[in-house]
Amino acid sequence: MIRVGVNGYGTIGKRVADAVAAQPDMEVAGVAKTQPNFEAHTAVERGYSMYAAIPERAPLFGDAGIEIAGVVDELVADADVIVDCTPSGIGAENRSMYASYDTPAIFQGGEDASVAQVSFNARANYDDARGADTVRVVSCNTTGLSRLVAPLEEEYGVEKVRATLVRRGGDPSQHSRGPINDILPDPIGIPSHHGPDVQTIFPDLSIETMGLKVPATLMHVHALNVTLGSDVTAAHVRQLLESQSRVYVIPEGIGLDGAGRLKDFALDAGRPRGDLWENCVWGESIAVEGRDLYLFQAVHQESDVVPENVDAVRAVTDSADAEESIERTNETLGIGLAGDPTGFNDSDRVGAEAADD
Ligand SMILES: NC(=O)C1=CN([C@@H]2O[C@H](COP(=O)(O)OP(=O)(O)OC[C@H]3O[C@@H](n4cnc5c(N)ncnc54)[C@H](OP(=O)(O)O)[C@@H]3O)[C@@H](O)[C@H]2O)C=CC1
Ligand SMILES: O=C(OP(=O)(O)O)[C@H](O)COP(=O)(O)O
């Protein structure tokens, strides 16, 4: 069993902990928090050992009726791998602590790429992270773009990606960002950080990205134009994307015409927290003119990086190859379960397979 510690138990950390707990080859060594708030109580109810992320605050947990197993250093010493899910910038500060215990560390996309040896997306470059000491799972938007670029690049070659990212203004629990009522070019400077971030996975890719923030908490939505290396048909691209396990091509005619309905659908389907781990590509939007592909996709910022973190754990411990890991993660989380008439959980979609010609 791979013992995984999760430092930072917020939006991403709590999902990563639950996903790790669901793996047959992993267990949660513990989670670290700075304060005994409601999430700390939930973590304890889920059976996760609690560690104080800031040692001086350890007594606060006892005062709140939460027994702690120790301080974060002890968790790092005890774990085989640490997944750092602290707010942007704190991961870099924690890096030396992980190194001092020789504990491989997985960071999140809010950190600069320089925090880790490898920037990671399971579909695109799993092997680069095998046995690495430090890995950064790229951000939600970069994950969403990488999952599309990888099969397109393999199948057709990619000359240029142009993406406009309509970014949610904050997560549902981020009241610090609201109430909000505005539309912001964010960042105003072009390109946005996403293009260069995708190049941490695809160094030779030509990509330009622009970002806007809107007053929504649901998902990000991307408008993409990709110039491919060869002439294609929309039907062929669709077939390729339908074969990708972490891409859900939304069928026409079922009313999933926006991010709100996608989230509702995920809740109706019994997804934990209404999570949508897959890129959601509107099938109807897939259009091709010569070598130019156009499409819209939605990316659930709170959850698309979660399966990637699970795969990153297997990569750094070199305990499975890409196909095995992706398949196991998908199976345990319920990505690719059979029996859904909409195709949302289509068992034929497997890890790294591309569409047949
Ligand atoms: N939310 C998103 O849309 C996405 C975020 N990311 C990236 O994931 C990372 C985490 O983001 P997210 O989960 O949203 O952030 P959150 O703020 O939701 O969660 C981070 C948690 O870390 C805890 N924390 C704060 N300081 C420390 C510390 N010094 N040590 C340990 N824990 C601490 C806080 O909880 P407490 O103080 O209560 O312990 C907080 O809840 C960032 O790099 C972000 O960019 C990536 C993809 C999408
Ligand atoms: O990693 C994310 O976005 P990003 O891919 O736009 O950097 C998360 O959605 C966090 O976004 P934020 O920078 O609005 O907190």
| Annotated binding-site residue? 90 | no
Question: Of all protein residues, whose CA lies closest to atom 13 belonging to ligand 2?
Answer: 110
Tens digit of each residue's pLDDT (9 = 90 or more) over 172-230: 999 998 888 999 999 999 999 999 999 999 999 999 999 999 999 999 999 999 999 99
pLDDT band at residue 354, thresholds of 50, 70 and 90? very low
Query: Ligand 2, from 120, 136, 140: best to mutate by most atoms within 8 Å of Cβ?
Result: 140
Q: Is the pLDDT of residue 127 over 70?
A: yes
> What does the pLDDT read at residue 340?
52
What is the position in ligand 1's atom list of the atom closest to the CA of 140? 47
Ligand 2: distance of its center to the CA of 215 in Å? 14
Q: Nearest bound ligand to CA 16?
A: 1
| Annotated binding-site residue? 297 | no
- Give SS3 for 121: coil
pLDDT band at residue 352, thresholds of 50, 70 and 90? very low
Q: Nearest bound ligand to CA 174?
A: 1
> What does the pLDDT read at residue 19?
98
DSSP 40-103: HHHHHHTTPPEEESSGGGHHHHHHTT----EEHHHHHHH-SEEEE-PSTTHHHHHHHHHHHTT-
| Annotated binding-site residue? 141 | yes
Ligand 2: distance of its center to the CA of 14 in Å? 17
Q: Nearest bound ligand to CA 108?
A: 1
**Which residue is catalytic, options 140, 240, 281, 295?**
140
Average pLDDT over residues 300-305: 98
Q: Is the pLDDT of residue 339 over 50?
A: no
Q: Is the pLDDT of residue 355 over 70?
A: no
Average pLDDT over residues 297-309: 98
Higher local confidence (pLDDT), 343 or 299: 299
> What does the pLDDT read at residue 345?
53
Q: Which two tokens stand for residue 58?
A: 């350890």
| Annotated binding-site residue? 168 | yes
Average pLDDT over residues 7-11: 98
Residue 142 CB–ligand 2 contact under 6 Å: yes
Tens digit of each residue's pLDDT (9 = 90 or more) over 277-295: 999 999 999 999 999 999 9
Q: Is the pLDDT of residue 337 over 50?
A: no
Tens digit of each residue's pLDDT (9 = 90 or more) over 316-329: 999 999 999 999 99
Q: What is the pTM of this model?
A: 0.95
Residue 167 CB–ligand 2 contact under 6 Å: yes
Average pLDDT over residues 131-153: 98
Ligand 1: distance of its center to the CA of 142 in Å? 18
Tens digit of each residue's pLDDT (9 = 90 or more) over 46-77: 999 999 999 999 999 999 999 999 999 999 99
- The overall average pLDDT reported for the chain is 94
Asked if 85 is an active-site residue, the reply is no
- Contact between 50 and 74 under an 8 Å Cβ cutoff? The reply is no
Least confident range from 13-17, 20-24, 206-210, 251-255: namely: 251-255
Is the ipTM reported for this complex over the cut 0.85?
A: yes
DSSP H stretches of helix in the chain: 11-21, 38-45, 58-63, 72-78, 90-100, 122-125, 140-156, 194-198, 234-242, 259-268, 306-316, 322-333
- Contact between 344 and 271 under an 8 Å Cβ cutoff? The reply is no
Average pLDDT over residues 242-269: 94
| Ligand 1 pocket, Cβ-based, cut-off 6 angstroms | 7-8, 10-13, 32-35, 37, 39, 53, 85-88, 90, 108-111, 139-140, 171, 301-302, 305
The rounded percent of the chain whose pLDDT value lies above 70 is: 94
Residue 192 CB–ligand 2 contact under 6 Å: no
The rounded percent of the chain whose pLDDT value lies above 90 is: 91
> What does the pLDDT read at residue 179?
80
| Annotated binding-site residue? 139 | yes
